[in-house]
Amino acid sequence: MSLALIAALPFLGALLPGLMIRAGRTACATATGAVTALALFLLALQAPAVLRGEVVQTRIDWLPALGLNATFFLDGLGLLFAGLILGIGLLIILYARFYLSKSDPMGQFYTYLLLFQGAMVGIVLSDNILLLLIFWELTSLSSFLLIGYWKHLPEGRQGARMALAVTGGGGLAMIAGMLILGNIVGSYDLTVILENKDLIQASDWYLPALILILLGAFTKSAQFPFHFWLPHAMAAPTPVSAYLHSATMVKAGLFLMARMWPVLAGTPEWFWIVSTAGLVTMVMAAKIAFFKDDLKALLAFSTVSHLGLITMLLGFGTKAAATVAVFHIINHATFKAALFMSAGIVDHEAHTRDLRRLGGLRTLMPITFGIVVLASLSMAGIPPLNGFLSKELMLEEAAHTTWITPWAMGLLATIGAMFSVAYSFRFLAHGFLGPVRDDYPHKPHDPGFGLWAAPGLLAALVVIIGLVPMATAAWLVDVAASAVTGEAVHVHISHWHGLYAPALWMSLAAIGGGLVMLGAYPRLRAMWDATPRPEAKRIFDGIVEPLAALSRSVTEGLHNGGFARSLVLAVLAIAGAAYWAFDGGSHLAGSRPTLPVTPVTAIVWAVMVIAALVTPFLHRNRLVALILTGVVGLLIAPLFMLFSAPDLALTQLSVEVVTILLMLLALHFLPKETPVESTVPRRLRDAGIAGIAGIGIGGLAYAMMTRGPAFDPISHFHLAQSKPGAGGTNAVNTIIVDFRGYDTFGEIIVLGIAALVIFALSRTLLHDATVNRRLAAQPRQAESGDRHPMMLVVSTRLLLPMAMMVGVYIYLRGHNLPGGGFVAGLVFAIAYLMQYMASGYDWSHARQRYDHHALIGWGVLIASLAGIGPWFLGLPFLTSGYEYVHLWPLEEFEVATAAIFDLGVFLCVLGAILLALASLSRLALRTGEGANTRAYDIEEGT
Amino acid sequence: MTTALALELFLSAILFGGGIFALVGSYGLLRLPRPMQRLHAPTKATTIGVGAALLVSALDMLGQGQISWQEGLITLFLLLTAPISALFMAKTLILRGEADPNLPDTGTGKPWATLGQERPDP
Amino acid sequence: MILSYALGFFVGSIALALILNLWRLFTAPTVTDRILTLDTMTVNVIALVVAYGIWAGTGLYLEVAVLFALTGFVGTVAYCKYLLRGSIIE
Amino acid sequence: MELLVAIAIGTLTAVGIYMTLRLRTFPVILGLTFLSYAVNLFLFVSGRLTLNAAPIIGTPEPYADPLPQALVLTAIVISFGMTAVIMIMAIGGYLSAGHDRIDLDAAEDGDAK
Amino acid sequence: MSHWIIAPVALPALVAALMVIGLRGQLSLQRIASLATILALNAVAVALLWSATLHGSEAYFLGDWPAPFGIVLVLDRLSALMVALLALLALISTLYAIGSSWDAKGAHFHPLLMFLLMGIGGAFLTGDAFNLFVFFEVLLIASYGLMIHGGGAARTRAGIQYVAFNLVGSSLFLFALALLYGVTGTLNMADLAQKLPTLPEGDTALLRVAAVMLILVFAIKGALVPLQFWLPGTYANSPGVVAAMFAVMTKIGAYATLRAGTLIFPESLPATGPLLQDLIQPAALVTLLVGAVGVLGANTLPRLAAFAGIASMGTAFLAISAFTPQTTAAALYYILHSTLATAALFLVADLVTRHRAHLRLTETAPAIAQSGLISALYMAAAVAIAGMPPLSGFIGKLLILDAFRDQAPLVWSVVLVSSFLMILGLARAGSLVFWKASALDPDPDEPVREPLAFAATFAALTLLAALTVLAGPITGWLTDTANSLADPAAYIAANKLGAGQ
Amino acid sequence: MKRLFPHPYLTLTLIVLWFLLVNQWKVGSLVMAIILGTVIPLLTSAWWPDRPRVKRPFSLAAYSLLVMWDVIVANFQVARIVLFTPRDKIQSNWVTVPLDLHSPEAISLLAGTITMTPGTLTADMSACGRALLVHSLHAPDPDAVRDDIKARYESRLKRIFE
Ligand code: NA
Ligand code: NA
């Protein structure tokens, strides 16, 4: 449990800074520090057990199905890293309290820092690689926030994005690698994986897994060729650089390589990839560091170089080299963090970090100078400081490693060390030695204790470890290295390995060479400046910006808002997929006898097909197109009728006429002509696409019609039960109001919604200034002076009641004969529309006693209540019943509750159509035009 | 000659005539040269064609002892509406200048309604 | 028997009429003519529907004829109103 | 007869698709209307073709399959509602943008607040 | 319990009707009614989940007609889950709509929302193929109204395309259903499942065409490439809160595909075999890439969110396409996650949109008000949608990757490369909108306006966190659900087919 | 009574119509017809504000028969013109028919009659409503057409309505 708590504490604590900042900056820092200290304390409680060689474990089931569990374990390696993270974290918190200015949002900073800290602790304590991945990505995210903390700096924003892109991307690769590993072993538990070296290394998937995992590690640890992001991350505040980019996050990659070392290392692939990457990184980054003027950039490349060194050591795959790697991790953390903080102090005090503008700080900032001397000499590998110890051991290992040739590794390592000496000395010499200047941007002096305490402590460690390594560090190296190698390690660290140790001479060569290089700096710098070299940021931008631009052009090119193209692709996809599916099945031509062609049908058919075919040729005159569409629609009705579907004919007809009215209303607002815009090839293409669709659908229709259904259709039940079960002889109607009344319920709601949408949009349009301007500016055609011809008005007075009568008749007989609430509603609606057309909207509407909205609402309500009613009898929604009633003196008649539902249908349809067309006609009332107050315009009776 | 045969012959004659009229109506649409003239043909001839069919439909049931009355309704409806359709088409022709242009005077001092000004609302 | 021949003749006439209508629909010199043609077609189709009802010996299709009449009328008036006033419901 | 109907359905589909591929809202809407005619017929013929067999119980058998007829009824109504909605949207689009092109330009994207 | 199955349909319909009759123009009463209904829906959803977990599949025979002759609703674990997701999202969206006053920008927002809920709920619950079409239409037409809510040239014009494309989709749906009925003579999904194994050999080609057409309809809803073109314009131009609600609408495509692929056209069906998988999987992979590329290349924040939505649909369809219990469980988890995540992203995008001069990501705009709060929400939503830890997207991604270990090289690389592109795109956009903007124009400390809108957004993200923390029990439940989908016997049995013979 | 039956003739017409529709002579149908005949005019009376006076309802029936006969005759005449009159020999003419009628119902009826009968068609009305514009398909003498209309139809309608 306590391991989980250690990992969780920083996350829980991340809530504190935001709250505590109200109590002041010190309180905020104290709270943050307390959280870290508590975690460190808890870790320390576990340390004795680990030092005894035990492995402390905590397991909380989280997602057992996937094998992702909150499983933690603490061994030597974990202890080392967790200690570093929390320990240095504590120092950074202290340092940051004094480093951040008053204008910086400190609460945010500490929150991000604690999130990061938690993620790092999580990585090093995870006993589950999926859990580890989670923490891994969390470090990328939290570091993104930390690097971009100073969001006003463009470098900060870009650096943050670059870091996220590289480390996040590597993390994604690592996900794949880890999953492969888990699949090979059959478990995502690290402890299980670590026991399966042979299984893993024998697997075909070993190399892919290795490469993917190393991608994660290399990106995080800024190994060549992914080293370029780290210097750009230096735009972050110095505490961030010191913490993330020297002590912790960049070491996560190393940690991972160390962690996986027992199962991944020891193969030629591992050796070649890891040690080569490390070696190249070490040498190249050291060289670059030498020429950097920005203190933090110099330190950043130096960090890259040292990480390369450690990577290289891990790559050797030997127990001894791994042990040295562990030792150097400790040492590097101490001197590099101290140096970063010192650089921050210089920046803080002198307001510059540029080596060209510094120099002579030795006397102005003696304390800082002292710290820098110790740390930079350690970095240079000068005895007896701790950096010397591990570098010596490294050179020894390098000298005994064959890489291409027996001596190449040793030589390159020495060259790397030489550069390392050179930049360390340059840091010291160009920054602190030399004459005192009078042109610092700000007069520097030593900072207060709060700011130098942390680097001071680290510098002390540099010395102490350097002097008495066996007493101070060896135990930690032992447990950690044992954990890495899986074998008991008892390291022996000494300052003197004898005259025959190659490392001695390599070391001397490095120091000598470094001094010479520092002396020759101006000339070397001139050569360096003269050499063209790729700039990381430009390369990164050169990849990412074109990628983004490409994405943009692909995306916008693909989704360019063109409707026709999207439709063409859809049609082709559908046709292609359908053909492919058809081709993959077997098809027997149908054997159902076909109907003879009857003359009436043939005529209707021919007229309809011809009218349809002509439409594309005549469609530019929109009224003509509409008339032709109307012809086709009207002729479908008799087709339905001829093929035994009178109900459909009724519905089709009444819907068609309302549609025509609607389209005419719409055409009033729209242009009357469609301009010629498409080219002939395009029209041919469209015709081709249309042809494909037509042939496909026609073919399917033919194939379907010429065969019988494979199984007894369910409609046999409907036919059989229409009369006895649903009490109606019109099977279509009983399906609509009873068997499948629920469909109808949905359908009337669709219609109701349509009307509401039309109402809402037309109201929005009427409130829109642009729309009103355009409406007022609509060109007016020559218009008849007779708005409401008297004859129409008079005939409507008769037609309206007549049509209503017909509507009621159709409604009542629907259950038994063609008709029903739907058609009745349409007939009523058409009758009302006739009235509206005859006498105009205002005159007619003023005399309307009920509201269209209410009609829709009542329709839905009545239909719903017809559905809900049966609940009270314990029956399901929409259950209907019917009864034959005999009331003297009337003949026996049938009362069906389905009629109530049908009434709802009727009302909803009526309301919907009236509301829709009324909304459209409201829009047509031009601004400034008075309402008509008479039924007709003729001056009657004069 | 039985009553049934007489009825059948009668109905056949009506249908025959109705067919002719319907055809004449549609033919007139093509043959007559001026738009206003064309308006005459279908409004009358075609209507009579339908009327014939409706009459036959109504009487056809007579042989089975009952008369269907719904046809009467349709006929009534057609008679009620055909003049209004014709009026509207004529008005359209007049407004668009497609009718013969030399309209006579109304004799009332006011223009024809279609060509007049909108009557302002009070 | 005779009636069915008569019916055949009737249907044939309507068919011919409809084809003439179609021809007119495409070649009409004015849009008003197209409306007139449409109106004529509607009436012709009503005749066809009624004839089919006679042939089928059922009154089931009369409502279709009623609705056709209503539809044709409202459609014609609406098209004309559109040409006369622009807005069909003012 | 089946062949004729199949041809009609195919023709309506093709005309519908062709019109839907035009560049202005009005022809597109007409195209969608044609498409819905085709769909309704297609759905209707899934009950196969029958002559003089309206599914009214009590009239002489056989009866046409009533289910597809009921389904087509639903489909007709729904497509009417949809047509009405897209029509008002076409009007709204024209009145607020000043043109009735159906394609969107990248530039105008997202100006709506 | 049984009548409660209809409640997700009947309740909103009834309330919408009452609103239209009695509460027109009374926004505050409408808000109260909406919230009360949605809270009730949440309660019903919990009850349905509970019932489905305890009792398994249950059918509701509408009109008391036996299946397959009447229409049935079928409550099973999957439909209960989807209804619950819908109810939750509705709550969040409604709170946001009220908090941001989106609902005051035009008429009938609340009735349309109610109808939308009715439509989606009905689509999830129905056991009848044609009824699925009807409820698709209900939800679509309500969505049309909501999409153009508030008006404006771009929105309305985008709406036209949305409607037009979906009308083509509806046509396709009907073609497919007609073919299905024409070949089999039935519409009940369980009945289809029962009958299809004995389909005569000579009919299989037509059935396969019907199956493919049906799946492509769902693919349109789910924005699967190459049927995704409608989505960016639609979502980017929708009111943010509506776009958030749309997050569940795309999932209907996924749901229906899953239902069809497990119940009606399982791989064991000789006629179709691996047809669905072969069709969907390549498309899903391309969809994922197209979405991810779009996230990187989007030129406005709402468009970015739209492409993120496309990518999430690609992932969901990918997971669905294998139709194994393990992948299905992963798909379900991912659907839960991505619905909430996409919704959250749209809400954040809307928070930005409504506080900003312009939306282009190609140039900087002045800082937005309350940017600190909004940027934190954006960060969380971006983390969620990109599938980064600690939010549930990462777990969803892991589940899917793990489930696809057999097809690792292709599937994994597409998923991971897409994640990478999305991370790049989201970081880029966030940096531009929040960091760069406030660098130009640092935002003053100001009190939180529209607290309800923020709370709603925060709630979505909190749910994602809950989804993460409770991943174990949830995936356990989902695995049981996936297993029950893989063996639809209980679903079919609930329909009591043949009881009416 | 007037409030319950705003248009008694309409009520009667509707009752007859209902029987035309239902095609059966049952008590139930009559009850229904009476209900609808009462309710529908009430629903629609707002759009028919003034009640037309019909002085001689039986003359109206006689008038209807006359018109029907004329319609049939008209069709033969039109058919002859369409089929057999050479296109350039068709002498179409406009005719102005000044009105003596005042009731809108009566005027409309006259206009309808003109359209349905021999070779004439009501094309418009004067803005004041005092004259009809009639188009005659083949009328060498327009004045005769006008006089015929006035004598044969308008005078009868005048007697019926005014
Ligand atoms: Na019916
Ligand atoms: Na029932």
Residue carrying structure tokens 């056709």: C68
Q: Shortest CA distance to A633 belongs to which of A651, A616, A658, A656?
A: A656
Q: Which residue has the tokens 């949809």?
A: D82
Per-residue pLDDT for D109 more than 70?
no
**A84-133, pLDDT tens digit by residue?**
999 989 989 988 998 888 888 888 899 999 999 999 999 999 999 999 99
Q: Inter-chain contact B73–F128, Cβ cutoff 8 Å?
A: no
Is residue D28 within 8 A of residue D20, CB to CB? The reply is yes
* Contact E267/A at CB under 8 A: no
Is A595–D98 a contact, with Cβ atoms under 8 angstroms apart? Answer: no
Q: What is the pLDDT of chain A when averaged over all its residues?
A: 90
Which CATH number describes the domain made up of D2-48+64-102?
1.10.287
How does pLDDT run across A39-51, given as a tens digit for each residue? 999 999 999 999 8
Q: Which residue is listed with tokens 């009705």?
A: A637
A673 compared with E353, residue with greater pLDDT? A673
- Do A626 and A747 lie in one domain? The reply is no
DSSP E197: G
Residue A372 scores a pLDDT above 90: yes
Which chain B residues are Cβ-neighbours of F71 within 8 angstroms? Answer: 44, 48, 79
Indicate whether A388 and A470 sit together in one domain.
yes
Distance CA E54, CA F67 (A): 79
Nearest to F44 among A795, A801, A942 (CB): A801
Structural domain that includes position A615: 594-676
Q: Which residue has the tokens 């009501």?
A: F122
Please report, as a single letter, which amino acid is at residue F59.
S
Cβ contacts (< 8 Å) between A68 and chain E: which residues? Answer: 395, 398, 471
From A224-228, A715-719, E133-137, the region with the lowest mean pLDDT: A224-228
- Cα B55 to ligand 1 centroid, rounded to whole Å: 27
Task: Please state the domain extents for chain F.
Answer: 8-47, 57-161
Reduced to 3 DSSP states, what percent helix, strand and coil does chain F have, rounded to the nearest 5?
60, 10, 25
What gap in Å lies between CA F99 and CA F110, rounded to an integer?
10
CA dihedral A189, A195, A201, A207 (to 10 degrees): 30
Q: Mapping DSSP to helix (H, G, I), strand (E, B) and coil, where does residue A394 land?
A: helix
Of A550, A583, A606, the one marking the end of a domain is: A550
Contacts of A344 (CB under 8 A, 6+ apart): A95, A99, A237, A238, A239, A241, A242, A296
Distance E63 CA to ligand 2 centre (A): 4
* % chain A with pLDDT above 90: 57
- Domain final residue, candidates A550, A584, A606: A550
Position E372 scores a pLDDT of 79
- Number of the ligand closest to the Cα of A875: 2
Q: Do A573 and E6 touch (CB under 8 A)?
A: no
* Residue A661 placed within a domain: yes
Whole-number pLDDT of residue E448: 66
What's the pLDDT at E443? 54
Is residue A932 less than 8 Å (CB to CB) from chain B?
yes
Interface with F, mutate which of A791, A850, A886 (most F CBs under 10 A): A791
pLDDT of residue A782: 79
Whole-number CA gyration radius for chain D: 19
Report angle CA E252, E239, D29 to the nearest 5 degrees: 70
**And the tokens for E32?**
């109260």
pLDDT(A231) > 90: no
Same domain, A754 and A623: no
The structure tokens listed for A874 are 């314990």
Tell me, yes or no, whether A80 lies in a domain. Answer: no
Tell if the CB–CB gap between E170 and D79 is shorter than 8 Å. yes
Rounded to the nearest angstrom, the distance between the alpha carbon of A812 and the centre of ligand 1 is: 10
State how many domains chain A has: 3
Rounded distance from Cα C49 to ligand 1 centre (Å): 19
Residue A942: the pLDDT is: 39
**Which residues have a beta carbon within 5 Å of ligand 2, which is an ion?**
A 738, 879-880; E 63
Rounded CA gap, A557 and A562, in Å? 10
Cα dihedral B28→B30→B36→B39 (10° resolution):
50
**Burial call C8-25: b when 16+ CB within 10 Å, e when fewer:** ebbbebbbbbbebbbebb
Which residues surround the ion ligand 1 when the cut-off is CB under 5 Å? Answer: A 647, 733, 814, 820
pLDDT at position D111? 43
The two structure tokens encoding residue A64: 């057992």
**Which of A11, A12, A207, A559 should we substitute to test contact with E (largest number of E Cβ atoms within 10 Å)?**
A559
Q: Per-residue DSSP letters for A736-773?
A: IIIITHHHHHHHHHHHHHHHHHHHHHHHHHHT-HHHHH
Query: What is the distance in angstroms between the Cα of C57 and the nearest Cα belonging to chain D?
Result: 9
- A660 shares its domain with A724: no
pLDDT digits (tens, 9 = 90+) for A886-938: 877 777 778 888 889 999 999 999 999 999 988 888 887 754 455 667 778 77
Question: What is the rounded average pLDDT for all residues in chain E?
Answer: 93
pLDDT at E442 over 60: no
E138, E183, E297 ranked by CB distance to A551: nearest = E297
Six token digits for residue A788 = 């409401």
Q: Domain segments of chain D: what residues?
A: 2-48+64-102
According to the model, what pLDDT value does residue D113 have? 43
Q: pTM for the whole thing?
A: 0.94
Tokens standing for residue C35: 């409306």
Contacts of A189 (CB under 8 A, 6+ apart): A67, A69, A71, A127, A128, A129
Structure token pair of residue A132: 């580890």
- The pLDDT, as a whole number, for residue F151 is 93
Q: Look at residue E178 and tell me whether its pLDDT is greater than 90.
A: yes
Report the distance separating Cα B40 and Cα E385, nearest Å.
71
**How far is ligand 1, taken at its centre, from the CA of residue C64, in Å?**
12
Neighbours of F138 (CB within 10 A): 20
Q: Do C50 and B53 touch (CB under 8 A)?
A: yes
Q: Check whether D112 has a pLDDT greater than 60.
A: no
Below-50 pLDDT ranges, chain F: none
Q: Which residues of B touch A792 (CB under 8 A)?
A: 84, 87-88
> Is position A364 within any domain?
yes
Q: Which of residues 64-93 of B touch A (CB under 8 A)?
A: 73, 77, 80-81, 83-84, 87-88, 91
CB contact under 8 A, B87 and A789: yes
A646 has a chain D CB within 8 A of its CB:
yes
At E325, list the tokens: 């219990």
- Same domain? For A719 and A851 the reply is yes
Chains touching A (3+ CB pairs < 8 Å): B, C, D, E, F
Of A141, A160, A570, the CB nearest to E383: A141
Q: Residue A267 above 80 pLDDT?
A: yes
Q: What is the pLDDT of residue A840?
A: 86
And the tokens for E497? 């087919």
C-alpha–C-alpha distance, residues A64 and A484, integer Å: 27
Model confidence at E146: pLDDT above 80: yes
**ipTM field:** 0.95
Burial F1-28 (b: 16+ CB within 10 A, else e): eeeebbbeebbebbbbbbbbbbbeeeee
- Residue of E446 and A737 predicted with greater confidence: A737
Percent of the residues in chain A that have a pLDDT greater than 70, as a whole number:
99
Q: Are A784 and B88 in contact (CB < 8 Å)? A: no
Tell me which chain C residues have a C-beta less than 8 angstroms from the C-beta of A932: 90
Predicted confidence (pLDDT) at residue B122 exceeds the cutoff of 80: no
